[in-house]
Amino acid sequence: MYDIAIIGSGPAGSSAAIFAAKAKKNTLVIDNGKSMTQRAWVENHYGITGISGPDLLEVGKKQASKFGAEFVQATVLNITTDNGSLSIETDNNQSFQAKHVLLATGALTDLAERIGLKLIPGKEPRIKTIIEVDEDGRTNKERVWAAGTVAGVSVHTIVTAGNGAAVAINIISELNGERYVDHDVLK
């Protein structure tokens, strides 16, 4: 069983995966390859002078993989509660179990609607619907969280990446039973 399953590997999802895997949480990322960032050119991301969206996504996946996150290419069809864990079903007949699920599905809310998450009107241009979350990223369904654009955060990659990290820290903290902090230092 995975500690955290992340649906979506755009900036929010991959950033969450980096923090979760680096915290030694068994981390799975399921992605359908439909990230908005696939079509982006990014020049407003701190520390980067210019990068294509596909290259930015690849860097994020490599960072998360370095810490042990697993990536699966699939579309999630359903998430149900099964004997105290969350069961995730995909379009390629795979099933995964996780303690927590983080939706980082960008502008896509169809899965959220299908599993009964509360949706509200979006605030960003062209983002009509988002998942209602509390300040920590929790949804109305126990142990299901949301981050990034789908949770009402600005579509800018640096903002969604930061939100993915913040929500991941909240999930890690809940799993650990105490606030999680990760600081690297020069060696």
Q: Kind of pairing, strands 27-31 and 95-103?
A: unpaired
Element (H, E) at 79: strand 76-82
Mean pLDDT throughout 78-90? 94
Specify which residues 95 forms β-bridges with: 89
Inside any domain, residue 105 = yes
Inside any domain, residue 187 = no
Residue 39 DSSP SS3: helix
Inside any domain, residue 124 = yes
CATH of the domain at 155: 3.50.50.60
User: Residue 53: pLDDT band by 50, 70, 90 thresholds?
Assistant: confident
Residue 55 belongs to domain spanning: 2-176
pLDDT per residue as tens digits for the range 132-168: 999 999 999 999 999 999 999 999 999 999 999 999 9
| CA dihedral (112, 115, 117, 121) positive or negative | positive
pLDDT of residue 102 exceeding 90: yes
Domain count, the chain: 1
Q: How far apart are CA 74 and CA 57, in angstroms?
A: 16
Average pLDDT score, the chain: 95
User: Residue 175: pLDDT band by 50, 70, 90 thresholds?
Assistant: very high
Inside any domain, residue 113 = yes
What number of residues does the chain have? 187
Q: Please state the pTM of the whole predicted model.
A: 0.95
pLDDT of residue 47 exceeding 90: no
Q: How far apart are CA 24 and CA 69, in angstroms?
A: 9
